[in-house]
A and B are shown apart, each in its own frame.
Chain A
Amino acid sequence: MTHTSSSGTVRKGGTAKRNGRGLTGLLLVSAPVALLGWLIIYPIFNAVARTLFTAGDEGLHFSLDTYQRFFTDGYALNNLWLTLWVTAVCAACLMAICLPLALYLRFAKSRVAAVVQGLALFPMFVPSVILAYALIRTIGPNGGVDLVLNAVGLPKINSPYLTPWGPVIGLVWDNIPLTTLMLVAGLGGVSDNAVEAARDAGARRFALLRYIILPQIGNAMLVVLSFTVLGIFSAFTLPYVLGPASPEMMGPFMQRTFSQLSDSRMAVTQAVITFAICACFGAFYVRSIAKNREARR
């Protein structure tokens, strides 16, 4: 008879279930799962149900009337397009600004990098309302920029305040820290040796970025894009304060429909449509991550 022994991590004393740890685990996760169900899942289904069922003389009946009204209303569609446009432009600007910044922070060895990192993270600690006020005082009509231009005898700028570019500037400024942090974290997965090996093989800066760095931070970029899209799509303060009155972004639009028009069912419909678009981005992100993990198995 042959006996084999192993120094591996064989668990003694039976399974987790038999030891009662299975129940402990379930109890530990039950609180957050219950909260998730109560505060997120239930409101979603509740909101969707409120938009699909309306109370009539014969009781509740199925109706798509609010969706029909939304998608046939030129003003509502303009608001949706503006939101999509602002989101796309912000995402592109954030990538264009934050990727070089993150690359610098990841690979720079100098002390200046620490200072740049501090400056890049500063907007994170500025509340949106203060930021909006600062931008109005700077780039708004008769703001700081205009005063400086006037002092040197130049004409005033065509202020982006109350145009679609107003929220774009504010949202980009507001999102730079988080986007940079996420990209730097993603770039942390690209080892110095991987970069050096590529340089050793003859790769210059552009080839390094294209063939080595970008493919390895694909997941991080997906996370960044998802967070940006989700955050900007549902933004309220900056679009409300800096954006145009018409068309307006979905956040202010929903709030106005709810409070000024007192049409809560329409406001919920706008929220559901916003949620559906955000959920598409979320599903795309989850699918991409799952696909990458599957490929690695």
Chain B
Amino acid sequence: MAQLSLKNIGKSFDGTDVIRDVSLDVADGELVCLLGPSGSGKSTILRMVGGFETPDRGSILIDGQDVTLILPEKRPTGMVFQSHALWSHMSVADNVAFGLKLRRMPRREIQAKVADALGLVGLKDYGTRRVWQLSGGQQQRVAIARALVLEPKILLLDEPFASLDQHLREHLREELRDIQRRLGITTLFVTHGQDEALALADRIVVLQQGDLEQVASPDRMYRAPETRFVAGFIGSMNFLACDMRHGRADHPLFPVEAPVADGPVELAIRPEALTVAPARAPQAKVHRTTDYGSHLLVDIDLADGTRVKAMCPPSARFAAGDGVTLTADRVTLFRGQKKLAEVSPRPARELSHA
């Protein structure tokens, strides 16, 4: 298949830098998710790779060939849009066949390729239907088939499942992952859904205000965020403000020790890294419990008014107002946006003794 390289690309709209200085290499057959909040520039990067925007600075290379100034119609990329962008005046088969017809392929070859592409997305018998006769999920499959039938070197997906319901989204992303693995196609996937990125990607690129925050595997991105923004953006995270004094945090519940200079820090703790146990002295109280079936999410009010979330097994029994103790398996220390240290604190202590 193909390798994609972005070399120091930058883009401005009306004098505002939307992409500052982004460099990224996507390996052959890799699926990379661009993840970030609205306005972070992820779709702009995708559109630049697709040729719909031209970078003001830097270059885009596909298999070493500079494609920065090549028009979209001549680029070896295939794009799937959030809005499906199917042509409603054509049948499903005509939508998929459009690019092949423009390439003046023999009719039989077109029919065979269209049938293969529709079969790949599970719509083999839908060729004669009009696109408005399909559900949202089916329309998005047609859009994927339309992009894949041209055998692009790079597959680009711009929040393709954003308009679908949760169940369908999960189903389709599993299918997409299977297809991508089967074809081994290099893929760039834009999403603002962290669960989608964690489930799909070989690597995740987190963007904020046109800059790369972190590029890492889903596992590293979740468990070892490099910046405070990534820590807060990926998954749920509790942030507790305190000061470091002589290598020790002055937080009453989590006095972690770390080789960090004195000054203000934030302790970042995942809800699943917190262990909650009943206590007699109520320095922290359960505010609310939410049962998600697979786990229980407990909102706990600390003595200083901070509210933290803790993930508990579904068998746990807590009620609002219960006094509890908290222990953390893993704590990350941030100062500003910068990560200072990751520590595994000592075993649990009773809040009453904190």
Contact = CB atoms under 8 A, between A and B. Distances in A.
B269 interface: no
Contacts of A216: 87-89
A21 interface: no
Contacts, number: 64
Nearest to A195: B85
A295 B86 CA distance: 17
Contact of A203 (B86, B88, B102): B102
B79 A215 contact: no
A191 B81 CA distance: 11
Interface stretch (B70-78, B190-198, B210-218): B70-78
Interface of A: 191, 193-194, 196-204, 207, 211-212, 215-216, 218, 295-296
B143 to A, nearest CB: 8
Contacts of A215: 87, 89
Nearest to A201: B99
A216 B89 CA distance: 7
A194 B87 contact: yes
Contacts of B132: 296
Given A203-B102, A207-B102, A211-B98, A198 B78 contact: no
Contacts of A202: 73-74, 99, 102-103, 150
B284 to A, nearest CB: 37
A193 B50 CA distance: 12
Interface of B: 50-52, 71-74, 77-79, 81-83, 85-89, 98-99, 102-103, 130, 132, 143, 146-147, 150
24 contacts: A191-B85, A193-B81, A194-B85, A196-B72, A196-B79, A197-B79, A197-B81, A197-B85, A197-B87, A197-B146, A198-B87, A199-B52, A200-B77, A200-B78, A201-B98, A201-B99, A202-B73, A202-B102, A202-B103, A203-B98, A204-B73, A215-B87, A216-B88, A295-B130
Contacts of A201: 73, 98-99, 102, 146, 150
Given A202-B150, A295-B130, 16 more contacts: A191-B85, A193-B85, A196-B72, A196-B85, A197-B81, A197-B146, A198-B87, A199-B52, A199-B71, A200-B72, A200-B147, A201-B102, A207-B102, A212-B87, A215-B89, A216-B87
